[in-house]
A = this chain, B = another copy of it.
Amino acid sequence: MSVIRQDLTTRDWTIFATERAKRPKYECGVVKKERVKDEYVENCPFCKGNENMTPKEIFSVKEGNDWKVRVVPNKYPALEEKGVSSGAADRHIKGIHLYMDGVGRHEVIIESPKHNDSLATVKLEQVEKVVLTYRQRFIELSKNEDYQLIVIFKNYGVRAGTSLEHPHSQIAATPFVPCYVRNKLSKSQIYFDDFGRCVFCDTIQYEIRDKKRIICENEDFIAFAPYASTVPYNVKILPRKHESCFGSISEKDARSLASILRIILQKLYYLLDNPEYNYVIDSSPIDKSGERSYHWHLNILPRLTTRAGFEIGSGININTVLPENCAKLLRRIKIRP
């Protein structure tokens, strides 16, 4: 019989049905993600030498004359800056419906000049530059009062929704806080009001004591497989220090995050043979940077299974692998320096 576990921070339940891993797989139709071979691809807008193929550069990290990380506007933005700022995000009513202009930001963070690099296998210094860029852009976008939530995310592989192969992440700033985020904040607020403590801080302490789901730790962060993991090999990275908003991260901690992120991505890369995945930084909204009940974290979700009708209709996830088993296998993978 399966077991159903609750995520303490969101109160969402996941069904663990390990027998379902034995289901027949009919023609899965998804081409295995291959390791990219060429350092330069002629028609890739993100490759070094093709800088004129992107919109105007917003920010870059340089060594001498060469850029190492580069930020440009998304050429097909979901959200865009509006000329006049005041009232840009005003809501309008049409009949019974509410709408607003798609104001905000949608930027691409090109993680390397090389087409065939990967965060899982590049040198630590390169991952540091990427995470320091996340920090810089988050702080910069936070200054615009039209924006309420900033989402940093990475789509790796076709099944993860990427449309370009060159290593990149994205950052979006939205002019509203969605229900999904409000609901999470509300759940951690209830815990805080009940117990007087941050539910994430309590989880960190418990998981360190319990050991079973911990994958690795450093001075500033812990990485573990969540008790109610939503997908196989789900990994969360949490800062030990209570901080609700990613924008509060110090430069030193950003480097520390880069280090543990690279370790986790490398472990997943070798254990699961270069899996497709998404990761996202779950931060509080900008105006809740001092919030005692929320705690930002980085959530890594390999795309090994497909979200289907049951998950869509109920919001309940079905997972075929227990986090204790994922953590055990990931702990064993040795890291290359």
Contact = CB atoms under 8 A, between A and B. Distances in A.
Interface of A: 1-6, 8, 10-13, 15-17, 19-20, 22-31, 76-80, 82, 95-103, 149, 151, 153-155, 158-165, 170, 172, 174-176, 178-181, 183, 187, 202-203, 206, 210, 227-228, 278-282, 299, 301, 305-310, 312-316, 318
Nearest to A149: B314
Interface majority SS on A: helix, strand, loop or mixed?
mixed
Given A155-B309, A280-B312, A281-B313, 8 more contacts: A3-B102, A5-B99, A6-B98, A8-B97, A29-B31, A30-B30, A78-B310, A158-B306
A309 B97 contact: no
A178 B314 contact: yes
Given A281-B313, A310-B172, A102 B153 contact: no
5 contacts: A5-B97, A12-B178, A95-B206, A278-B312, A281-B313
B4 A102 contact: yes
B309 A160 contact: yes
Contacts of A103: 1
10 smallest A-B Cβ distances: which pairs? A180-B315, A161-B308, A2-B102, A153-B309, A280-B313, A29-B31, A161-B306, A278-B309, A6-B98, A155-B308
A222 to B, nearest CB: 15
A8 B179 CA distance: 12
Contact of A163 (B26, B30, B161, B181): B26
A125 to B, nearest CB: 24
Nearest to A31: B29
Given A23-B163, A280-B312, A309-B170, A76 B13 contact: no
A23 B172 CA distance: 17
Contacts of A78: 2, 15, 17, 20, 310, 318
A299 B202 CA distance: 39
Contacts of A158: 26-30, 306
A117 B30 CA distance: 25
Contact of A29 (B30, B102, B210, B278): B30
Given A29-B158, A101-B4, A308-B162, A180 B278 contact: no
